[in-house]
């Protein structure tokens, strides 16, 4: 591990430095050290801040550690840099789900979901959040419409049927 840190310090390019930190993070992660892996992923993100793969790893580690506010902040930052409506919509949908499921911030969940739907009207995460919010407000017709639309991509992806864990996810769409 210390040898990898030395190699990262001596790396000729930021990308080479990031690669060394990613190797160290993977090694720590394999050993079950999520906090140590997160630290190395953050160093890799500092070395290569525009690499979405690295920022996604940092977000995943924050979520594994239960730091959902930090994960949402990273998504907001990545959303500012993202190119294309689909990529931006996907990030906004992920952020809406975080705000709704883990941060209990319905206002930010709703605004993130609306942004995601503006960018990609078929975004399943955003449709799920809007449907759940409508359900909790007693707008059952809207909730049914949104939740059914969120369910459609899952059915299509599964070849027209639901199998394994997908069925359990569909049953729980109207609940948190």
pTM for this model (two decimals): 0.77
For 35-48, letters b (16+ CB in 10 Å) and e give ebbbbbbbbbbebb
Q: What is the pLDDT of residue 163?
A: 42
Helix (H) or strand (E) holding 58: helix 52-64
Share of the chain above pLDDT 90, in %: 72
Six-digit token pair at 119? 């960018």
Task: Dump pLDDT digits (tens) for 75-89.
Answer: 999 999 899 999 999
Determine the average pLDDT of the residues in 142-150.
92
Alpha-carbon gap, residue 56 to 72, rounded angstroms: 11
Determine the average pLDDT of the residues in 115-143.
96
């Amino acid at each position: 591990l210390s040898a990898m840190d030395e190699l990262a310090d001596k790396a000729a390019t930021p990308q080479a430095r990031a690669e060394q930190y990613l190797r160290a993070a993977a090694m720590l992660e394999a050993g079950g050290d999520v906090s140590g892996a997160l630290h190395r992923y953050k160093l890799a993100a500092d070395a290569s801040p525009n690499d979405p793969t690295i920022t996604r790893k940092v977000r995943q580690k924050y979520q594994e550690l239960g730091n959902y506010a930090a994960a949402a902040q990273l998504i907001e930052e990545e959303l500012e840099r993202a190119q294309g409506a689909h990529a931006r919509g996907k990030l906004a949908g992920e952020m809406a789900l975080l705000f709704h499921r883990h941060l209990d911030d319905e206002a930010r969940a709703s605004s993130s979901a609306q942004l995601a739907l503006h960018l990609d009207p078929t975004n399943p995460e955003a449709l799920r959040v809007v449907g759940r919010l409508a359900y909790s407000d007693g707008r059952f017709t809207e909730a049914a419409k949104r939740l059914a639309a969120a369910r459609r991509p899952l059915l299509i992806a599964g070849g027209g049927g639901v199998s394994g864990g997908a069925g359990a996810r569909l049953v729980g769409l109207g609940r948190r």
